[in-house]
Amino acid sequence: MKKKTFAFVLVLILAAGLFVRLYRLDLRPMHHDEANQAYKFGELLEKGEYRYDPAEHHGPTLYYFSLPFAWLSGQKTYAELNEITLRLVTVFFGLVMILIAALAAGKYLKESEKLWAALFLAASAPVTYFNRFYIQESLLAAFALAFVICLWRFWQKPDYREGAWLGLTAGLLYATKETSIIVMAASLLALVGVWLLGRQKNRAEQNRKDEKSQKIEKRENEEKTPGGDARRAWKPLLLALFIFLTVSFVFYSSFFKYPQGFLDSFKALAGYGQKGLEAGWHRHPFWYYFGLLFYHHGAPGSPVFTEIPFLALALFGMMISFIELSKSKKSSENFRAYLAALAVITALVYSAIPYKTPWNMLTFWVFFLIVAAIGFDYLLRLIKIRQSKILLTGILLIWTGWQIYLVNYYFYAYPDNPYVYAQTSPDFMRLVNRLNDLSQVDSEGKNIFIRVIAPPEETWPLPWYLRRYGQVGYWTASEQVETLKPARLIIMSAAEAVKRQEKELAGYVAQYYSLRPDVVLVLLVDVELWQTYLLKKVEGLPRRQRP
């Protein structure tokens, strides 16, 4: 394939990937995890301060890479931020991931395999859904893919250039999320496994040769075996380690302001390990991730969500990769087996951890998609009829396009969608709009006093949506508030509302809104304010529509 043709097709894939990620980017209400990350970033944006919290929020790369997007948007405070600005960060790294798949593998994948890998990453429904999510996973997946490829490249050619890339990608990966150690360990295990299989195959072949040819072959293998010359590799490896530690330290120490953050990142591993095992209400069975990908059907009348075509292609790609490994004489064929082994190992490790959320599968699903691209490319080469190739490709693209539409634009926040998890209900936006309308008719405007009385798990993402109000107070329990006055607006959890005396509530109009499935918030509106609001609303109607 000519370079111009490759570049043209890649640009088309990037344009398509960008469109499906950008279109109606603010459609879905902010998830409480997104709102938490936004609040943390808001502190960095306004005060220039960030301290790594080993118990919450994960690594710092998301926040520091968000700064340029806020600056370019002219947003200098937390209140000025919006959903699109924040989600553009993860959209950007979704595109970076596509570019890495297409460009970083070099000679180890065919040009057609790279383009199919880029297309599958651009058009996978779960990938596009989580790329529109302001959490760490999109950055983690991009850096994980870069690290995995750079590790292979270093193994093949352990020089200073490859060592620098390996250290940089490892540092960025570790500075993104604590679960990065899973990817690092799995990639090393896959690399060693492929090397051992290749070595065993070479020994079997050498046993069939005479003694003289064995000596010649052994000498040639020692010269050509990746990583075989330890004396040549250890200095670039030290460079990689130095860059890894430097990049990690710079981010975790908040650019040298809080050095303790770097040490805390290592201490946090034990805490997150315990959290992963205990799991709580995030505990799900071993097959949870593949259950979401394989088949999901919600309420009667809802469509089927499935990634079966990509799963089947990935299994076929794995089979082809391991068959090629048994016959391989080129490192590129070993690279495919390395990716296949890595996909299996990471998926098994993530599945074995009791703590599970749908976005965690993004890291290993990226590897599955690249292996699926390898399988699809091989399948097309088996098919000799051109029209059959076009038909098969068209069916695959139509199917994945339909899945993208369903998960991103139709069931974007509804439980029928397998990737929706503890998602803020669209009904919650009625509460947000009602607060905005009421503040416009109150004399205080955005400085209207609002009380929020609810436990933390029933509060977020309220702080995000109330960020532009001047007087908002938060209490976790009703017992902490003796009287609801002088607040004109009160937001309470249903459990806290029943604790208040009926006489006290008589001064307010109660309205009910869904925060998440099975979580209801109560909005109490001062009777006088409510009457003012209704009067203004009536005055705004045409005369023939007034009561």
Whole-angstrom distance, CA of residue 443 vs CA of residue 464:
23
> pLDDT at residue 329 above 80?
no
For residue 414, pLDDT beyond 80? yes
Cα–Cα distance, 8 to 484 (Å, whole number): 63
What span, in angstroms and rounded, lies between the C-alpha atoms of 106 and 161?
A: 14
Residue type, 546: R
Count CA atoms closer than 13 A to 131's CA, side-chain side.
29
pLDDT computed for residue 398 by the predictor: 97
Q: Please state the length of the chain.
A: 547
- Tell me how far CA of residue 213 lies from CA of 145, 209, 218, 493, in angstroms: 40, 6, 8, 80
Q: What is the CA radius of gyration of the chain?
A: 27
202 or 326, which is more confident: 326
Per-residue pLDDT reduced to its tens digit, 132-163: 999 999 999 999 999 999 999 999 999 999 99
The string of pLDDT tens digits covering residues 159-173 is 999 999 999 999 999
CB 422, CB 428: distance < 8 Å: no
Q: Using one digit for the tens of pLDDT, what is the confidence trace for 80-95?
A: 999 999 999 999 999 9
pLDDT above 50 (res 282): yes
Percentage of the chain modeled with pLDDT above 70: 92
Question: Lowest-pLDDT range, 19-23, 486-490, 537-541?
Answer: 537-541
Q: Can you read off the two tokens belonging to residue 168?
A: 């940089």
Residue 530 has pLDDT above 60, yes or no: yes
So what's the pLDDT on residue 222? 45
Distance from C-alpha of 350 to C-alpha of 137, rounded to nearest angstrom: 14
Mean pLDDT of the chain: 91
Q: Is 422 left (phi over 0), alpha (psi -120 to 50) or beta?
A: left
Is the pLDDT score of 217 beyond 90?
no
C-alpha–C-alpha distance, residues 83 and 465, integer Å:
10
pLDDT of residue 347: 97
Measured over all CA atoms, what is the biggest interatomic distance in the chain, rounded to whole angstroms? 105
| Angstrom distances, CA of residue 128 to CA of 21, 90, 350, 514, 528 | 6, 10, 20, 26, 46
Q: What is the pLDDT of residue 333?
A: 73
Question: Which pLDDT band, with edges at 50, 70 and 90, does 232 fall under?
Answer: confident
Residue 278, pLDDT score: 80
Please tell me the least confidently modeled range out of 24-28, 178-182, 482-486.
482-486
Q: How far apart are CA 359 and CA 370, in angstroms?
A: 18
Percent share of the chain, pLDDT over 90? 78
CA 373 to chain centre: 21
Q: With a cut of 80, say whether residue 412 has pLDDT above it.
A: yes
Query: CA 334, CA 341: separation in Å to the nearest integer?
Result: 10
Query: Alpha helices, DSSP H only, in 73-210?
Result: 83-103, 111-123, 125-131, 137-156, 160-174, 180-206
Split at pLDDT 50, 70, 90, the class of 536 is: confident
Helix H, strand E, coil C: the string for 253-310 is: CCCCCCCHHHHHHHHHHHHHHHHHHHCHHHECCCCHHHHHHHCEECCCCCCEECCHHH
pLDDT interval class at 356 (50, 70, 90): very high
Measure the CA–CA gap between 498 and 502, rounded to whole angstroms.
9
* Exposed e or buried b per residue across 480-504, where buried means at least 16 C-beta atoms within 10 angstroms of its C-beta: ebeebeebbbbbbbeebbeebeeee
Residue 39 has pLDDT above 50, yes or no: yes
Give the pLDDT confidence score for residue 271 in this predicted structure: 81
pLDDT at 324: 86
Burial letters 272-303, b for 16+ CB under 10 A, else e: beebbeeeeeeebeeebbeebbeebebeeebe
Q: What is the reported pLDDT for 199?
A: 76
Q: 230-252 vs 260-278: helix axis angle to the nearest 10?
A: 90
**472-505 pLDDT tens trace:** 999 999 899 988 989 999 999 999 999 888 888 9
Strands 296-297 and 449-453: unpaired
Tens digits of residue pLDDT in 109-126: 999 999 999 999 999 999
Q: What is the mean pLDDT of residues 392-417?
A: 96
pTM, two decimal places = 0.93
- Residues 6 or more apart whose CB falls under 8 angstroms from that of 5 comprise none
Look at residue 446 and tell me whether its pLDDT is greater than 80. yes
Average pLDDT over residues 458-466: 96
Find the mean pLDDT for residues 427-449: 95
pLDDT of 216 reads: 52
Would the pLDDT of 130 be above 60?
yes
